[in-house]
Structure formats: C-alpha cells, structure tokens
Amino acid sequence: MALVSMRQLLDEAAKGGYGIGAFNVNNMEQIQSIMEAARETKSPVIVQASRGARAYSQDRFLYHLMLAATEIYPEIPTVLHLDHGNSPATCISAIDMGFTSVMMDGSLMEDGKTPSSFEHNVAVTKEVVEYAHARGVTVEAEIGCLGGIEDGHGSGGSGLDHVTDPAQAEDFVKATGCDALAIAIGTSHGAYKFTRKPDGDVLKMDILIEIHKRLPTTHLVMHGSSSVPKELIDIINQYGGKMKTTFGVPVEEIQLGIKNGVRKVNVDTDNRLAITGAIRKVFMETPEKFDPRDYLKPAREAMKKVVAERMVQFGQAGHAGDYTSKPLSEMAEMYKSQLVSA
C-alpha cells in the first residue's frame, strides 16, 4: 500500500457528507497515535507535516516513518500532506520526496508572516498546481489569513484581521484550479484562539456558508480547528503546568462546517495538549522514573484517544474500506483529461 492522493479522500468525503481530520506530526509516537486511532475507528487519514516538522525530523525520517505506517496499516488510506508551504520551491521539494498532497499558502509572502496580494497568491498557487497535478499530487491553497502565529508561521493578530472575502474566494479557485481551499473565518493557530466560547461575532460561520454557496464543489478546509478542551488544559495545570484559560473551536461548529462543504479539519493543538498532560502526570506522580517509554506510552495513548474521538465526531470513522485507493499516476491522468476539476 502506498501513500495516496488527498483529492481522492476529499472527493469520497464529499460523497459521504463527512469531514476528515488532518493531524500534525513531528515524530514516531504521533504517527503511531494517529494510525492506531484510524485502525480502531476504520478511518481514512491525513497526516500532515509543517516546515517546522520537516526541519525537526530532517524530512526523511518523517517520510520513512510514514512509509512504515502504510506497511503496518495497509487497510487505511493514508495521505502525507505538507502543511503551509511558503513557496513553490518548498512545495516542490515535498512532492519530489513523496508527499502526496501539499498546501501552497500564498496568502502570506515567503517569509510566512506578511499578508500577500491576490495576484501573488494566484501566481504561486498556479505554479504549484501545474507541477503537482502532473504528478497526481493534491494542492490545498489559502485565501484570507488566519490569526496567530505558530512555528514562526502566521500573520499574527486576531483571526478577524484578514477574513476571507467570498467573491474573491470564487475568483481565486477559478484562477488556480486548486483542489481544496483553506479559508479564514476568525480562527487562529495555537492554543489561544478565543477568550470566550466563540459566537458569530468572532467565528464567522456565515462567511463559510456563503463561500460554500458560491463554490459548492470545492473542498473547504478549516485551519486552527482544535477545540482546546478544558479537561486537557486542566490536566496540564493539575500537574504543574501554567496554561491560561482559553477557548477553541467547538466541535458542533466544525460539524456545522462539515454540513457546508468542509472536508478537511486541521487539528494540532489538542494533540499537543494531550501529550503534554500525560507526560506531566507521569513526571509528577512518579518522579523516580527515567525510562522515556514510561511517559511516551501514556502520551501516545492520550493522543490516540483525542484523535479517535475527532474521527468519530468528523464522520470519517467507518469509511476506510469504502473505496480502493487510486495510484498517483491514475490521478495524474485524471487531471490531464480534466476528469477532476476545482
């Protein structure tokens, strides 16, 4: 079993009316957590790596761990996706190494911080779409900018500074032919998304619904969509952590998004919280322990629990066996003969 096209997973998700979680990884334990959750819930999966993760893992470690995942879990359609590629060169290096999907985030300039022009965004995205589709690889793009900053990437500020304009989103998809579109509706990267449970003033689900009306066949992507459950923050603080009160995106809002064209839901923070809470608990309760497995095993288990829960909530659970994965060469042929379009 090889790593597969994200486009096929998203098309299937659209047919079935469900969403797919995209979970970030940096190391073996996180990959194992996701794959075990996928097997347990029979879910197709998107595993994604940021530029920071590629640097941390020297790229090839991560890639070969993902190949191991496809050998050990052959029944799970598994995508390896680049999260927030900052330039065509970054995306092309990922494709050349074996990523089956890339995000070209041209909403920011190559520095990953400065909001770009519409024209810049269209130009870099188109360049990546041409290179990727010729190889059967999927492209996610972004219009509007998310708030916050993480791993040195992001426009900073609140999620409301650069909310997506629905008319511009429509023009952008027509101009680029991207497979999936990330939109900015008030969310931010990181743990500190909202200072209260979000309502329509800060989480613009109405804009998402408007974009879906204009682009009914485009797969929408929600970034910064950890729910930041209070229970996970509490565990960290109970065992010596110092996290402030914060609110994420409630699962019911994500489910509303899924009813309105959202097919990919990015979750990272919740898993980071689960891992850190589990490790802190072992350190605090049994300070005499020093074998890393004594705390990495519970960390892995805690992340697996969160991922499995999200897989059920997003609706991808039970769908791993619905279809046979197409090889990338077949996807490339389909793009060439325009059997798949934006």
Report, as residue numbers or ranges, the catalytic residues: 83
Provide, rounded to whole angstroms, the least separation between the CB of residue 74 and Zn ion: 29
Provide, rounded to whole angstroms, the least separation between the CB of residue 255 and Zn ion: 20
Q: Which of 31-39, 66-74, 215-223, 331-339 is the region at the interface with Zn ion (rule: CB under 5 A)?
A: 215-223
Q: Which of 11-19, 46-54, 216-224, 292-300 is the region at the interface with Zn ion (rule: CB under 5 A)?
A: 216-224
Q: Are the CB atoms for 342 and 179 separated by under 8 Å? A: yes
Select 22 or 320, whichever has its Cβ closest to Zn ion.
Answer: 22
Select 144 or 177, whichever has its Cβ closest to Zn ion.
Answer: 144
Burial category of 292 from C-beta neighbours within 10 Å (exposed 0-12, middle 13-18, buried 19 and up) = exposed
Which one, of 283, 302, 304, 303, lies nearest residue 294 by Cα?
A: 283
Provide, rounded to whole angstroms, the least separation between the CB of residue 223 and Zn ion: 3
Q: Which of positions 270-329 make contact with Zn ion (CB under 5 A)?
A: none
Q: Are the CB atoms for 232 and 273 separated by under 8 Å? A: yes
Report how far residue 321's alpha carbon sits from residue 77's, in angstroms, rounded to the nearest whole number. Answer: 8
Q: Which of positions 218-247 make contact with Zn ion (CB under 5 A)?
A: 223
Select 278 or 307, whichever has its Cβ closest to Zn ion.
Answer: 307
Select 223 or 272, whichever has its Cβ closest to Zn ion.
Answer: 223
Q: Where are the alpha helices (DSSP H) in 228-321?
A: 230-238, 251-259, 269-285, 292-314
Provide, rounded to whole angstroms, the least separation between the CB of residue 5 and Zn ion: 20
What tokens were used for 237?
């603080």
Q: How many CB atoms lie within 10 A of CB 225?
A: 27
Residue nearest to Zn ion (CB): 223
Rule CB under 5 A: is residue 51 a binding residue for Zn ion? Answer: no
Residues in contact with Zn ion by the rule CB under 5 A: 223
